[in-house]
Amino acid sequence: MQFLGGNSILYRMIRILPLVAVVSALAALDSSVTAAEAAPRKVILIAGKPSHPPLMHEFRAGSLLLQKCLADFPGIAVDVHDNGWVRDEAVFDDAAAVIIYADGGGGHPALQGDHLKTLQRLIARGVGFGCMHYGVEVPSGEGGDAFRKWIGGYYEHQYSCNPIWDASMEKYPEHPVARGVKPFRISDEWYFNIRFAGDISGNEAATVDGLKFTPIFVSSPSDDVRGGPYVYPKGPYDHIVANQGRAETMMWTVERPDGGRGFGFTGGHFHVNWGNDDFRKAVLNALVWVAKAEVPKGGVVSAVAEPQLYENLDPKGPLPKEVKEKIDGWKKGEEGAPGAGLSPRPSKFEQLVRARSRNQG
C-alpha cells in the first residue's frame, strides 16, 4: 500500500482536507442563515393600565385577542406586556416592532421616566413603532415632535377632536396594511384632525422630510359630528367646524428615512369592535407590516367568536345584567353559544356603553 508519493492515500487526504473544511464552513454558514431567517420577528405589544368603564379601553384584553389571532402566523411572535410598560427592557433587544395601546396624554407610557429615550434608541436601529387609540395622544413639545417623526403624527389636545361617530371606510390605497380589508362602517371614538408631520391634512399620500405617509382609513364626518359634542372637551372647535366636508384620516402608515416603519390607529375605544373582521384585519395587517414581515395577498386571516370578546377583561366592576346572562348562557351551552357572530345592530348594552362614554370620556 502506498502512503507517500503523488498518488498515495496520505497525499490524497492532505489535498482533500481544505475542500472538506470549505464545504463544512459553507454548510455551517448556510445553517446559521437559515436559522436567522426562520427566527420570528418579535412584536412587543404594550397594553395600558385599566381605565374607563367595562368594555371600553380594554387594552389588555384587546392586546391578548390580537396576540391570539397571530399565534399561528408564520414569522411573527407577539409578546404582550400589561400595565403600561415592560418589566425588563431587555425584551426590547431583539424586538422588530413596539406597539402601544394605552391611555395617552401626560400619562402616556412613552413619556414616563426614560421611556422616550429607550424608544429613540429602538427607532434609531430601525425598529417599527405604532400607537393605537388614546395611545396616539401626547402633549405637544418633545413627545409630539417625536411622534411626528416616528409614526407621522399625534393627537393634539384642542387641535384634534374625539367624537363618537359612525365612520364609513369605503376605499383603500394599494398598501399591505389594506390587503383583504373590505368596506365597512362602525361606531367608535374615531379621533381626527391629527397633527400630522409637516401639518399636512393627512387625507392623501405624501412625503414629508423623507417620511413616506399613506392614509389607510379615511372617512368624512358629517357636519353634526364636527359640531360636537366631542367626548372631551365637548367643543365644538371653530377650526373643526370650518373644515366641513373634508375627509379625515383615522389610520395611517409611515416609512421612515431610517428604514423603519410606523403606524397610527385612532379606533379601539369600544372593545366589541374587535369582533368586526375588517376592523381587526387592518390592525393585524399593520402589526405584521410594521415588523417588516410579509402581509399575505388577502391580508391576515383570523376568526373571533363573540364569547372571546369577553375574555381577559380588566376587573372594572360587574358587567351589566344583559352581558352576564349572555356569558352564563354560553357556559351552559345554550343557544347563542361560541361561534355566534356579532349582531349587526348594537345591543342595548352596547348602546348604553356608548352613551356613557360620551358623558365620561
- Using the predicted structure, report yes or no on whether residue 39 has a pLDDT greater than 60: yes
Q: Identify the helix (H) or strand (E) that includes residue 167.
A: strand 165-169
Contacts of 66 (CB under 8 A, 6+ apart): 45, 78, 274, 280, 283, 284, 287
Of 286, 299, 208, give the one whose Cα is nearest residue 251. Answer: 286
Residue with more model confidence, 313 or 32:
313
Express each pLDDT in 188-219 by its tens digit. Answer: 999 999 999 999 999 999 999 999 999 999 99
* pLDDT category of residue 326 using cuts at 50, 70 and 90: confident
Grid cell 376587573 in the structure block, residue = 315
pLDDT confidence band for 327 (50 / 70 / 90):
confident
Bond from prior residue into 318 cis (ω within 30 degrees of 0): no
Q: Residue 128: what residue type?
A: G
Q: Give the range among 259-263, 313-317, 319-323 with minimum mean pLDDT.
A: 319-323
pLDDT for 358: 45
Question: Chain centroid to CA 68: how far?
Answer: 14
**Antiparallel, parallel or unpaired: β 128-132 and 165-169:** unpaired
Cα–Cα distance list, 63 to 44, 75, 91, 101, 177 (Å): 10, 18, 17, 8, 18
- pTM (2 d.p.): 0.84
Which pLDDT belongs to residue 324? 84
25-29, 179-183, 234-238, 340-344: least confident range: 340-344
- In the three-class reduction of DSSP (H, G, I as helix; E, B as strand; rest coil), residue 41 is classed as strand
The CATH superfamily of 38-290 is Class I glutamine amidotransferase (GATase) domain (3.40.50.880)
Residue 24 scores a pLDDT above 70: no
Q: Does the structure show a pLDDT above 60 at 166?
A: yes
Averaged confidence pLDDT in the chain = 88
Collapsing DSSP states into helix, strand and coil, what is residue 105?
Answer: helix
Q: What integer pLDDT is reported at residue 318 of this predicted model? A: 86
Read off the pLDDT of each residue in 252-272 and give the average, rounded to a whole number: 97
Residues sharing a CB contact under 8 Å with residue 321, sequence separation 6 or more, in sequence order: none
Helix, strand, coil content of the chain in percent (nearest 5): 40, 20, 40
The Cα 155–Cα 202 span in angstroms is 13
**What would the pLDDT profile of 82-139 be if each residue is shown by its tens digit?**
999 999 999 999 999 999 999 999 999 999 999 999 999 999 999 999 999 999 999 9
